[in-house]
């Protein structure tokens, strides 16, 4: 058991959460859980589940360069990272030049023989209620997986020049707020991240005094708001003035695959930046084909014998060519494959070719090629068209040969677009709240890495690196975290909703040309950190607004009272419709084939010029009607609020239609997406 303040030593009681919210984690039978669920004062009892990790140049790509204006209090901002821990020796976390720890910090550092904090990493804790450690785990906040080190350096790592992965993506690695402090909460291990540990970390992070919480973790399947520990923790963070930044999930592009979608947290999709990794394959006939991978091996152009996996079945283990064509572990005959490049009809982790002694591998598959992986040997992933040609070559040529080149970095002229794996909306619980909120870079991101593990999971791979290139909404989430911390450094009193609004309304607009799911892929658009610190207007909301939302969502008065720990009843706050939450996007749904008209009520707060006049600019394609009343908002002071209504009408088949509302004063353009769609949730 760890030594956190919310941990108790009982064999049955795992955690008692009492610092920021009330609850406990315990080992119960089904009957005991059922009895407890029926007792007065118990809002919910649910089974602990295991959650997954949602797994340089990106800041420059967003126009957020090193010379961007910085707040004098950035070094007082504390970013709470709930992840796999951190590798404290990384240059990204060097504390040279840092002043003393901010006075507001109330946390601790669980130091050990292999881990100490400094003035950059000011706090660190670890959580493992079940006490089950693997031989590869560190019983400390030290990172044995790499993921937490990567996300921490992306959000708040310092400037490290000449960082690269064996020369790939070489440049200055840096986080969004390089001078901010980092507090580490290690909740994830070799087998995932467990609910009871996640809640314990939230409880501590809130009490410790962090400013922003970053969590690149989520379920495979969505849950209702208060059956989801991340939503519960984020709600209590919001109550305490802390925005939680969440990864949307890596189950895209299926609709409603998003798993982190609570309205009080920031849900971040993953998109590309303006570079891509290309790995070329040259055949003995002189023709070259372009595939994808992150190949750091250099065969120096030497041609090697080329064989199809289907021609090398491991018959001694009763495998046939129908097995070996996919090059799975154990399916290939080592005597036929060793020292050769092998052609495989599937995109796998390459363990089979490595195990058989292949010098390299060429994969063909129909899977998306908009992100790349590193492998334990030279490898290139080809699309099906090129793969078919190469397959014909290797099967019809006498003594076929090939070579695989080291990966090249090329321009991606279509960026940014949301990557295929990024989870999509619509919101599976509240159809009339648009999710995800926005998108940020999450593809082929270079950042710090743990030196406790090899570059790939291939057993023979012994390469250890200090910086790695990986992809996931896990990588986009800390970009948004860093941007939120940047905004917080200029506006330390802003609420989580205000910061979130600033990020959403200043986002770069994106087009459905590259993403057919449109706003269900990218939300309000691509994050624009430099502009987010001066949004002009904000859509603010506090705890009472979310209580109204929960009332409208259908939670009982008893649940609302117990969730919020207040005596507020739905009848007292008016049971408002969920779409009247003061959100900086607009979504309305109806059943397929129906028309729909809805009136939205919104209030904006002036944070731009003291005296200003904003005019409503509506962009509505055919099939969508957007009317704003009043269409002009005049302000005479900072902090002044103005309310308005938006009437939206749409005729829908089985599709969606989207537009936007922009409040424009000639200096600020405060943009909100407007989405109408046919929903099966109605």
Phi/psi of residue 205, nearest 5 degrees: -60, -40
Report CA-CA distances (Å) from 592 to 479, 490, 597.
36, 45, 14
φ and ψ of 397, to 5 deg: -100, 135
Instruction: Mark residue 266 as left, alpha or beta (left: phi above 0; alpha: psi -120 to 50; beta: remaining).
Output: beta
Structure tokens at 652: 């829908």
Q: Is 585 left (phi over 0), alpha (psi -120 to 50) or beta?
A: beta
**Is 76 marked active-site?**
no
Q: Torsions phi, psi of 288, nearest 5?
A: -115, 140
Cβ(88)–Cβ(121) below 8 Å: yes
* Strand runs labelled E in 498-608: 537-538, 586-590, 595-606
User: How far is it, in rounded angstroms, from Cα 248 to Cα 426?
Assistant: 12
366 CB contacts (<8 Å, ≥6 apart)? 383, 384
Map 40-64 to HEC letters: CCCCCCCCCCEEEECCCHHHHHCCC
Q: How many CB atoms lie within 10 A of CB 543?
A: 18
Query: Is the Cβ–Cβ distance between 583 and 539 less than 8 Å?
Result: yes
Residue 410, both tokens: 């090329």
d(CA 143, CA 559): 38
Is the CB of residue 569 less than 8 Å from the CB of residue 560?
yes
Partners of residue 246 on adjacent β-strands: 215, 267
Verify whether residue 208 is a known catalytic residue: no
Q: Is 527 exposed, middle or buried (0-12, 13-18, 19+ CB in 10 A)?
A: buried
Which one from 474, 489, 495, 658 is the annotated catalytic residue?
A: 474
Residues 443, 528: Cα–Cα separation, whole Å? 17
> Among residues 83, 323, 347, 437, which one is catalytic?
83
513 contacts: CB under 8 Å, gap ≥ 6: none
- Our answer to whether residue 370 is catalytic in this structure is no
Which of 20, 56, 75, 147 does the annotation list as catalytic? 147
Vertex 73 angle, CA 70 and 75, to 5° = 90
CA pair distance 496, 519, nearest whole angstrom: 22
Separation CA 452–CA 447 (nearest Å): 15
- Is the distance from CB of 51 to CB of 250 less than 8 angstroms? no
In whole angstroms, give the CA distance from residue 152 to residue 38: 41
**Structural Rg of the chain based on CA atoms:** 26
Residue 399 CB-density burial (10 A; 0-12 exposed, 13-18 middle, 19+ buried): exposed
| Cα 154 to Cα 92: distance, rounded to the nearest angstrom | 9
Active site residues: 83, 147, 474
């Amino acid at each position: 058991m760890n030594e956190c303040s919310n941990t108790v030593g009982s064999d049955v009681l795992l955690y008692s959460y009492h610092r920021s919210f009330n609850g406990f984690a315990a080992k119960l039978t089904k009957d005991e859980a059922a009895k407890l669920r029926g007792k007065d004062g118990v809002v919910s009892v649910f089974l602990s589940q295991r959650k997954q990790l949602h797994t340089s140049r990106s800041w420059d790509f967003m126009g957020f360069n090193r010379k961007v204006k910085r707040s004098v209090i950035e070094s007082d901002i504390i970013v709470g990272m709930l992840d796999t821990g951190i590798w404290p020796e990384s240059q990204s976390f060097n504390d040279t030049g840092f002043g003393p720890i901010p006075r507001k910090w109330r946390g601790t550092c669980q130091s050990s023989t292999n881990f100490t904090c400094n003035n950059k990493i000011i706090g660190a804790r670890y959580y493992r209620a079940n006490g089950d450690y693997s031989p590869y785990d560190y019983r400390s906040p030290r990172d044995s997986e790499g993921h937490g080190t990567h996300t921490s350096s992306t959000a708040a790592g310092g400037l490290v020049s000449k960082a690269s992965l064996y020369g790939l993506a070489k440049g200055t690695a840096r986080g969004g707020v390089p001078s901010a402090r980092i507090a580490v909460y290690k909740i994830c291990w070799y087998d995932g991240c467990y609910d009871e540990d996640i809640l314990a970390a939230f409880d501590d992070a809130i009490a410790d005094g962090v400013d922003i919480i970053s969590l690149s973790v989520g379920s495979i399947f969505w849950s209702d708001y208060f059956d989801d520990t991340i939503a519960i923790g984020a709600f209590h963070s919001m109550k305490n003035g802390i925005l939680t930044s969440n990864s949307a999930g890596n189950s895209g592009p299926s609709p409603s695959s998003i798993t982190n979608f609570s309205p009080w947290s920031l849900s971040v999709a993953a998109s590309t930046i303006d570079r891509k990794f290309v790995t070329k394959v040259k055949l003995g006939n002189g023709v070259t084909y372009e595939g994808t991978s992150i190949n750091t091996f250099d065969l120096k152009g030497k041609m090697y014998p080329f064989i199809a996996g289907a021609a090398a079945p491991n018959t001694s283990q009763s495998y046939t060519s129908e097995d070996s064509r996919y090059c799975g572990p154990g399916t290939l005959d080592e005597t036929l494959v060793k020292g050769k490049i092998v052609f495989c009809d599937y995109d796998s982790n390459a363990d089979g070719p490595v195990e058989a002694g292949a010098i390299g591998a060429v994969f063909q598959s129909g899977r998306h090629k908009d992100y790349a992986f590193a492998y334990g040997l030279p490898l290139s992933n080809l699309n099906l068209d090129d793969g078919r040609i190469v397959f014909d070559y290797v099967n019809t040529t006498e003594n076929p040969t090939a070579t695989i080149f080291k990966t090249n970095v090329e321009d991606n002229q279509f960026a940014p677009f949301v990557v295929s794996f990024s989870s999509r909306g619509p919101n599976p619980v509240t159809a009339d709240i648009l999710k995800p909120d926005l998108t940020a870079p999450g593809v082929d991101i270079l950042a710090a890495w743990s030196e406790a593990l090899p570059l790939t999971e291939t057993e023979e791979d012994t390469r250890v690196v200090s910086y790695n290139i990986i992809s996931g909404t896990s990588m986009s989430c800390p970009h948004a975290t860093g941007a939120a911390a940047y905004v917080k450094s200029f506006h330390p009193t802003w609420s989580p909703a205000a910061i979130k609004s600033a990020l959403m309304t200043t986002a770069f607009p994106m087009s459905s040309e590259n993403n057919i799911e449109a706003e269900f892929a990218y939300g309000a658009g691509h994050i624009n950190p430099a502009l987010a610190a001066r949004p002009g207007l904000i859509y603010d909301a506090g705890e009472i607004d979310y209580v109204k939302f929960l009332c409208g969502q259908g939670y009982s008065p008893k649940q609302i009272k117990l969730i919020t720990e207040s005596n507020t009843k739905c009848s007292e706050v008016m049971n408002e419709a969920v779409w009247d939450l003061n959100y900086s996007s607009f979504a309305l749904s109806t059943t397929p084939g129906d028309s729909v008209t809805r009136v939205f009520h919104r209030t904006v707060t002036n944070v731009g010029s003291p005296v200003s006049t904003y005019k409503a600019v509506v962009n509505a394609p055919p099939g969508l009607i957007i009317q704003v009343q009043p269409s002009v908002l005049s302000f005479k002071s900072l902090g002044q609020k103005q309310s308005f209504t938006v009437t939206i009408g749409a005729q829908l088949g089985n599709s969606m239609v989207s537009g936007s509302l922009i409040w424009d004063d000639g200096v600020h353009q405060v943009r909100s997406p407007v989405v109408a769609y046919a929903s099966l949730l109605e």
